[in-house]
Amino acid sequence: MKIFDPHIRSRTQSDADLKNLAYFGTARVVSCATVGPPKEGARELIEAMEAHAGGEVRRLERCGLDAGAALGVLPPSRPRRAHYEVWKRLPELLALPTVVALGEIGVWEDSAADWELFESQVAIAQQVGVKAMIVTPPRELRVTLTYKMMQRLEKLGVEPGRVLMTYVDEKTLVNVVQSGFGAGLAVGATTLNPRQAAEVIMRAAQELGAVERIALSSALRVGGADLLAIPKTVEALRALGSGERELELLTWENAKTIVDGERS
């Protein structure tokens, strides 16, 4: 079974780890730039984005993965000094052929500054025609801000089905799907373990009547890497009685629909 992992931070992983990811069934990934400390100025952030959309995508491909980049700025990575140059260059960067999504973006404090950062990036993506978006909530206020960001995206005219709301859990999964958004269920060392993820999915599927718009993700990052997270979750789902069609949706088709806007 081939896997489309729509949310990894590949720069936290070695070539050997990425090759193992491909070996164990991951065929396609969307890689977001690593969340890091704020840059001193816009130039550093722009250079990091250029490197991610260029050299990092090529590295992923050398490791056997069909890769696309996601570019965006989360609040912790906002430059300390004036960063209007970022917004001037972002349309050009999002238009690069290797870029498949805006992201990660998110509101991490319910503040005017965070909402401005969030909305300005959404507006640029809409201007360029980038429809897929990867939205990440903070650890604190995760439930509240997940709901608020979905509401704001709807007001901004964003197509919900092209948005992956990451780090959903048992509290938010059903609501995210019922609201028409993609639900990224992260499985890994510091998130749900495979058995927990399988149980959450089965309960959600019983309530929803289907597994549409739910996408399994390893969310690979420092301290949270489990290269076998998705294959282990697949086996846990099989043990709980999940059918092969459901597994195909969870591991490939739902992610493809969110990113590409179409089924395979």
Average pLDDT over residues 4-23: 95
How far apart (Å, rounded) are the C-alpha atoms in residues 160 and 135? 11
User: Strand pairing of 26-32 and 3-8?
Assistant: parallel
pLDDT at 79: 78
Expressed as residue numbers, the domain containing 199 is 3-260
Q: Which of 172, 167, 150 is closest to 159 using CA atoms?
A: 150
Q: Residue 7 belongs to a domain with what CATH number?
A: 3.20.20.140
- Reported confidence tier of residue 42, pLDDT bands at 50, 70, 90: confident
Average pLDDT over residues 94-104: 97
Average pLDDT over residues 18-34: 95
Q: What are the tokens at 87?
A: 């917004």
The answer to whether the Cα torsion of 57, 59, 62, 63 is positive or negative is: negative
Average pLDDT over residues 122-148: 96
Which residue reads 């089965």 in tokens? 202
pLDDT at 86: 87
**For residue 264, pLDDT beyond 60:** no
Long-range contacts of 94-97 (CB under 8 A, 24+ apart): 94/124, 94/125, 94/128, 94/130, 95/128, 96/53, 96/54, 96/69
pLDDT at 77: 86
**For residue 225, pLDDT beyond 80:** no
Average pLDDT over residues 146-155: 98
- Reported confidence tier of residue 85, pLDDT bands at 50, 70, 90: confident
pLDDT at 44: 85
Report the share of the chain in percent with pLDDT over 90: 81
Average pLDDT over residues 24-36: 89
pLDDT at 219: 83
pLDDT tens for residues 153-211? Answer: 999 999 999 999 999 999 999 999 999 999 999 998 678 999 999 999 999 999 999 99
Q: How many residues does the chain have?
A: 264
Cβ(173)–Cβ(164) below 8 Å: no
The residue type of 1 is M
The residue type of 173 is L
Direct distance between the N- and C-terminal alpha carbons of the chain, in angstroms, rounded to an integer: 14
Q: How many domains does the chain have?
A: 1
- As a whole number, the mean pLDDT across the chain is 93
Across the chain, which distance is largest between two alpha carbons, in Å? 54
pLDDT at 82: 59
Q: What are the tokens at 229?
A: 């997270």
pLDDT at 123: 97
pLDDT at 39: 65
Average pLDDT over residues 100-125: 96
pLDDT at 35: 59
Report the share of the chain in percent with pLDDT over 70: 95
DSSP 38: P
Cβ(138)–Cβ(154) below 8 Å: no
